[in-house]
Structure 1
């Protein structure tokens, strides 16, 4: 049985003025130059007051939520909201990285959210199905299940997938369920930090708005 993990990550979108102040970014893609991009992102993070976070996958603008301090969480939420009132905001961007061993297999796509864990959970139901999942992001991967095994397919149609994204990857329903249990534990710890941010600002419903899988 394939052993997998699902790592919750948050995507940080940096303001243009911060990037301009830092200077040129690496010229290649983050997949081609992961170390250079990670070093660049760490400089941006320090400039904005984040701790020395390491991206995952390396260079990708995504950071494991388990690594964020309370100060990091507050900065990430404030950056996400900008001038938008909390009640009008979408959830925090990011999602789950599917990992086999130490190798990322599938990353959240553009506009994916941490709340997409609910979409992953739906794939563990004991029945046959074929359906897209992680619908907040684009493009959406497809899942095909025979009730025992789930095949994840990332077939390009109108829009290319951001790599890594497998054409076909099979995983047992049990392995997926096990991976989700640990991911939920990590996200619940992160949600507690979001709640702290909310209480300090008079928003007791902060986690419900920003992490809507709950």
Structure 2
């Protein structure tokens, strides 16, 4: 049986940004109690009117772009921008999230702390560089390193170090990964069009520019 590789672009929706009341945390880590953490997350989101999110990874706060409805996206954008000085581009933060890499339905890579959706550009740059020695890719921290060997894209462990261990944690077919990235970029472009449309309908000034900053972090 062929193993399947696919990449999903996601937003990270922090529960504290959407909750109206304090809720008790699950009694354990997201690894030990993934379902309980998802229930906690969805309960917080529901207090801002978001009730149609499907968790992308158990125990994590990620929503796949293609599965976010327009009504939910409107809430996300309004929440993101409500306390932002839109007259100063430096004050506008990119949407949190990034790319998730699945292999046989197992999430091998997903955004870490301080990541943003715009981090997809780091993957593009790396594929263009074709590194044969370890090259860092920012996905938040801890980070990951990749290199190309024998038409395979090799991945390091997650690390905060300046260099990873010599041995790769896993590898995938380079061509297949590159094709998946192309498909992912198309999804992000479509998502940006949706963002711009919702901003325009919400009477935000310069919706095209604002959407570009939110999605691509182009201050």
> Whole-Å Cα distance in 2 between the matches of residues 189 and 16 of structure 1?
25
SS at 2:113's partner residue? Answer: coil
**Is the CA contact 1:151–1:169 (under 8 Å) kept in the aligned structure 2?**
yes
Residue 99 in 1 paired to residue 102 in 2? yes
TM-score w.r.t. structure 1 length? Answer: 0.85
Superposed displacement of residue 213, structure 1: 6.9
Structure 1 counterpart of 2:66:
66
* Bigger Cα displacement from structure 2, 82-91 vs 203-212: 82-91
**Is the CA contact 1:2–1:175 (under 8 Å) kept in the aligned structure 2?**
no
Q: Which protein, 1 or 2, shows the higher relative CO under an 8 Å CA cutoff with sep ≥ 6?
A: 1
User: What number of residue pairs does the alignment pair up?
Assistant: 206
* Bigger Cα displacement from structure 2, 10-19 vs 173-182: 10-19
Structure 2 counterpart of 1:116:
119
Deviations 1:94-143 (A, max 9, x none): 001100121101111111111111111223237333310126x2222111
SS at 2:192's partner residue? Answer: helix
Instruction: Supply the RMSD in Å over aligned alpha carbons.
Output: 2.6
SS at 1:125's partner residue? Answer: helix
Deviations 1:9-40 (A, max 9, x none): 10112337826x25212111112111111122
Structure 2 counterpart of 1:15:
16
**Is the CA contact 2:3–2:104 (under 8 Å) kept in the aligned structure 1?**
no
Give runs of ≥4 in structure 1 deviating > 4 Å. none
Structure 2: runs of 5+ lacking an equivalent: 163-167
- Within a 5 Å distance, the mapping from 1:135-154 to structure 2 comes to 137-146=140-149, 148-154=151-157
**Is the CA contact 1:123–1:150 (under 8 Å) kept in the aligned structure 2?**
no
Structure 1: runs of 5+ lacking an equivalent: 160-166
SS at 2:127's partner residue? Answer: coil
Alpha carbons of structure 1 residues 17 and 81: separation in structure 2 relative to 1, 3 Å: closer
Superposed displacement of residue 51, structure 1: 2.8
TM-score w.r.t. structure 2 length? Answer: 0.83
Q: 2:136 aligns with which of 132, 135, 153?
A: 132
Deviations 1:131-162 (A, max 9, x none): 10126x22221112237221111243469xxx
- Within a 5 Å distance, the mapping from 1:163-178 to structure 2 comes to 168-178=169-179
**Is the CA contact 1:2–1:172 (under 8 Å) kept in the aligned structure 2?**
no
